[in-house]
Structure 1
């Protein structure tokens, strides 16, 4: 078995190692986000119905986000555990974690398809659809849900490849799928005239290609962490450990669905379809910015986990300091550009002048807190990499459930529709500050031999 990628995590120079691990992961995440971004760009430019179709597909965001959240539940929960056990030298247990995680992905697929196919129309109306946009939302989701298993395997297994130090191979699985999606989108949407249905078909096919790549590699002799059928079975102890650590990234992603529901409904009540469309564009821009951040932290996270499991605390300190600093710099720079040139970003998704004008007005307000949110984007993955499920979960819950949702419900009563946009920066700033305080309080205790020995 090829273990060179795994071994370099404990020996190679940190700057070189971070580049080799993070760059492919960044590219993979940017390309992965293009699955939805490219769909929206093409859909927003469908002649005659682009604005309504874009809004309708934007309404599906909570469901799509929730499906990907379950893949993060397993991937971001299981992969750090597998990396820690690889660092401890117990490869057999790491492979059991991979097998139980794969079993969980299949279980989640069955449950998600049953729930959403059974209640799709009422869910979409609840999420902010109107009679003018429900048709586009239904067309897209009926087809997208057929590929739920592909989404789970494509996104959920990818972190297990990264955990071996094989970021380039993990990137390839995403790139292949994205190339298929980008190539098929204009063909199905415009040439065949299938509209939003064509965008959904292209997405399903592309996710299927990525899923097949992941499974094939993990079952091959080239993988140092092997997926074998004898391990793809429920081990409730391991599943509990995966869920305990994975609950934080799950909450981070799934609460995006809750936020979308609350914001979309509020914008529909206080503003209308045009305001819902503005949120679709701004969430797309945020996804575009979060992709390199997510890729960077996903690339560095297994290095931290491996060295933590091996007791190399000096390397762990150097790694998390670099990760937090770079995350802050990326977030600040990217969001500042959108605040300065909001109209240019809006024009990527629509040629509707009224919608572009609204986005130009509200985007600087909406993104202001994101200037500082890179601090949390570096701290929370560090806690995950160190196996700190409870702290990471609290940080995730605090920003979205405790702060953002209540603010989005209360502020419009005083400021009208603009209150919904104010809720985002207020919660971002308070949450980032809280994450920093928690990190300073807990990190010394976590980086001790005694504490590490308790992780079983």
Structure 2
């Protein structure tokens, strides 16, 4: 078995890692750009309720989209293993299953959300004008939900098939169409909030159509065929459905942690809630770079597992892990040395700044602690071992809740201690499970 140093010195692996990571990092950067354009366009509309409607409507729309994000992660591992095994039939089948599941869930989720919208908006305690505009936005926005889920499935398949540039192109088409039509519909045609929603829907469907065209082109060169008769049986769907089920449960629990931070922070006052929101933007910034390397681990480790190549899997982990650690150190230094500037750029409220300054050491520690959970998530996604990811998340959440309760007298510092312990436990529990799998030599099973 090669040593860690030998694995790190393997130049072709460095090239493969960055060939996957760079397009994914660029893809991640397009997401806040679209949100920024939406906010900027809405912010120039005549009524303050217009900006609020876009903010509230986007938050409600994100509920089904984020909850069903397993369509991306669940697809990546199966596609990567099929590509590694050189099994064209399996790669075709994974694509077909993911797209069919995305289309079905998109239709069901859209129809299910419609009657729930008034109730969800009532929870916001908005004014009647804001609620009306939010409903107008969401009734149009939900037309794009099936396309958004198709894009998740397509992105997962492209990543697993090591076509990261196609993933980048898919997101660029989606987001650039959204931005251009935003400016045209709102500033040019004066369609207001409905124009912003239509621009988003158009972008999602243009991305889906482009992605389907590229996916069709990609499978033309593959051997084998889809076994459609077998697809009619539940047995053929069970692996994908079970992995997606476990990732869904993991995602819901993770979403609960972030909701708990907002809820517990609210009990400490409005200033604390605002300060924590600014600090958590640092977590989003960290994810831009480190998630790109985690995506590389998903594809390369899944490919190595499919090819039964233990050395390739080890090299991918070592190289991506090394670069992830170096990246986390860079982020830690950024927040340690420039944290005050990072906060000042986001707000000019003195009390919010002061509250955020006090918690900057926690933000500086977050990248170094959190990087390992991102990396190991990538390994377990590539290995399609979602059950372990689910169990790790449940254990970590229990620790978070326990420490949040024990540290309630420490105010916001107790809350941040609980969150960093949660991130550390995610990494430690996944590392332990990974070690157990390695001891059984079961990664290639």
CA distance in 1, matches of 2:346, 2:45: 11
Q: Which residue is 2:400 aligned to?
A: 404
1:31 positional shift: 1.9
Q: Is the 8 A contact 2:373 2:427 kept in 1?
A: yes
Matches within 5 A, 1:267-416: 267-272=265-270, 275-346=272-343, 349=346, 355-362=352-359, 364-365=361-362, 368-399=365-396, 401-405=397-401, 407-408=403-404, 410=405, 413-416=408-411
Which residue among 125, 130, 154 is the counterpart of 1:157? Answer: 154
Which residue among 154, 173, 177 is the counterpart of 1:180? Answer: 177
CA distance in 2, matches of 1:413, 1:49: 37
Q: Which residue is 2:13 aligned to?
A: 14
Which residue among 207, 212, 216 is the counterpart of 1:210? Answer: 207
Q: Which residue is 2:235 aligned to?
A: 237
**What SS class does the counterpart of residue 92 from structure 1 fall into?**
helix
Which residue among 86, 108, 121 is the counterpart of 1:111? Answer: 108
Q: Which residue is 2:264 aligned to?
A: 266
CA distance in 2, matches of 1:403, 1:319: 31
Larger Rg: 2
Q: Is the 8 A contact 2:141 2:201 kept in 1?
A: yes
Q: Is the 8 A contact 1:153 1:211 kept in 2?
A: yes
CA distance in 2, matches of 1:278, 1:140: 29
CA distance in 1, matches of 2:291, 2:419: 20
CA distance in 2, matches of 1:102, 1:393: 24
Cα deviation code 1:378-398 (max 9, x no counterpart): 112112212323222222333
CA distance in 1, matches of 2:114, 2:274: 25
**What SS class does the counterpart of residue 373 from structure 1 fall into?**
helix
Q: Is the 8 A contact 1:147 1:207 kept in 2?
A: yes
User: Structure 1, unaligned stretches of length 5 or more?
Assistant: 1-10
Moved more, 181-190 or 85-94: 181-190
User: Structure 2, unaligned stretches of length 5 or more?
Assistant: 1-9
Q: Is the 8 A contact 1:62 1:260 kept in 2?
A: no
Cα deviation code 1:3-23 (max 9, x no counterpart): xxxxxxxx9922222222222
1:417 positional shift: 5.5
Q: How many residues align?
A: 433
Q: TM-score, with normalisation over the residues of structure 2?
A: 0.80
CA distance in 2, matches of 1:96, 1:38: 38
Q: Which residue is 1:4 aligned to?
A: none
1:57 and 2:55 correspond: yes
Q: Which residue is 2:252 aligned to?
A: 254
Q: Which residue is 1:443 aligned to?
A: 438
CA RMSD of aligned residues (A): 3.9
CA distance in 1, matches of 2:54, 2:275: 12
1:49 positional shift: 5.2
Q: TM-score, with normalisation over the residues of structure 1?
A: 0.79
Q: Is the 8 A contact 1:154 1:211 kept in 2?
A: yes
Cα deviation code 1:186-205 (max 9, x no counterpart): 66667777776655444333
1:311 positional shift: 1.5
CA distance in 1, matches of 2:54, 2:269: 16
When residues 105 and 221 of structure 1 are mapped into structure 2, their CA distance, relative to the original with a 3 A threshold, is: closer
